[in-house]
Amino acid sequence: MKTLKDLNIDNKKVIIRCDLNVPIEDNKILDNTRIIKSLKTINYALERASKVIIMSHLGRIKTPEDKAKNSLKIVASELSKELNKDVYFCTWEEDINKAIEDNKIVLLENTRFFDLDNKKESNCDLELSKYFASFGDVFINDAFGTAHRENASNVGISKFLDSCNGFLIEEEVNNLKKLDNPERPFTVIMGGKKVSDKIKLIDSLITKVDYLLIGGAMVYTFLKAEGKEIGKSFLEEDYIEYCKKLLNDYKDKIFLIDDNYVELDECISINDMTSDSVGFDIGIESVNKFNKIINKSKTIFFNGSLGYVEGGYTYGTKNILEALNKDKKTVVIGGGDTVSACNELLKDNNFVISTGGGASLEYLQGNKLPGIFEE
Ligand code: 3PG
Ligand code: MG
């Protein structure tokens, strides 16, 4: 990876692409983690560069009406507060070069506003990339959460300027690398709704893991493959054969649930499921069984909720998170929804939490991320 030690930014106009795509509701930032995580590179640049120009996307822009609620203006105020310095917020209609001349730090408006013009940002349009590049002398991509996307503002622009990755991307990649060569036993806990969404991830991890613990709605397709009655629980018929083969090939590694919650206050054995039962969360015995494996593991990757958390079925996910937090082990939490569940259910934790849901999963599936620049 090309990092900041490979790029001279002294007295230059430095463009930094951050991922400041933070959750916003009623004009309030709900979680500023991505802003905080971006500060290290910005501060480094502020000490050396003549100008710092920051870019980011926010949300998705499909119609002109999407612009109002996806302006980076309130992010500029938050960033200014965290940096304890003035941050000039600049719209695309203003004289941008003058704004850069007059200010040390400029945050440009949402890059995805250009998606209204033939998806130019998201499709990595070359002219737009060149336009973005015209504002600076060098480019730092530090937007890990967007590293799996090839957009004009994170990848296209690097074709026109000397470029490297920032500290956040470097740190994120180093964290994920811990899973390439893990301290053992290495356990993956996987939940979420669909087996079909996870096949690439399972296939790339199964040979590396010592244990794979499966919960969430996806476990019912595995249970069905084992010949169990799953009632009206969520099932993907087309994936039963895949699950059968996996269970057969890796029978010593894969652990499924023994009981489940069919109501918020009713936990029953899988053997007692009837043709009408619907499973919503892993049960008490299953949590105990998973905990035994967790306790002897040294490295754990957790992806996907173990129950229907939005519906109040938090028992399994919460208890497993608590077990993971108990003693010293490397715990990596991956995937946007898992990170939100974790922040909601166990905010005070020692986990390695990625700022990039999709990006971290793509990386773990062995895919090359276009936003990570090779040397
Ligand atoms: C994210 O939050 O997943 C990243 O910021 C990328 O956003 P996107 O999924 O809208 O491309
Ligand atoms: Mg996303």
C-alpha of residue 185 to centroid of ligand 2, in Å: 31
- Give the residue ranges of DSSP H helices in the chain: 33-48, 66-69, 73-83, 96-102, 126-133, 167-177, 199-205, 219-225, 240-249, 284-296, 315-324, 336-345, 357-364
347 pLDDT tier (thresholds 50, 70, 90): confident
Residues 154, 165 contacting (CB under 8 angstroms):
no
Beta-carbon count within 10 A of 249 CB: 10
Does the beta carbon of 148 sit less than 6 angstroms from any atom of ligand 1? no
pLDDT at 344 (0 to 100): 87
340 pLDDT tier (thresholds 50, 70, 90): confident
339 pLDDT tier (thresholds 50, 70, 90): confident
Nearest CA to ligand 1 atom 6: 146
C-alpha of residue 21 to centroid of ligand 1, in Å: 7
User: Ligand 1 pocket test: which of 24, 113, 146 has the largest number of ligand atoms within 8 Å of its C-beta?
Assistant: 146
pLDDT at 188 (0 to 100): 96
User: Ligand 1 pocket test: which of 17, 19, 169 has the largest number of ligand atoms within 8 Å of its C-beta?
Assistant: 19
| CB-count burial class (<10 Å; 0-12, 13-18, 19+) for 64 | exposed
C-alpha of residue 368 to centroid of ligand 1, in Å: 17
Show which residues are catalytic: 34, 194, 336, 358
pLDDT at 327 (0 to 100): 83
Does the beta carbon of 146 sit less than 6 angstroms from any atom of ligand 1? yes
Q: Identity (one letter) of the amino acid at 43?
A: N
Beta-carbon count within 10 A of 272 CB: 11
Q: Please write the tens of the pLDDT for every residue from 68-94.
A: 999 999 999 999 999 999 999 999 999
pTM: predicted TM-score of the whole model, two decimal places: 0.89
Q: Please write the tens of the pLDDT for every residue from 206-262.
A: 999 999 999 999 999 999 999 999 999 999 999 999 999 999 999 999 999 999 999
C-alpha of residue 363 to centroid of ligand 2, in Å: 14
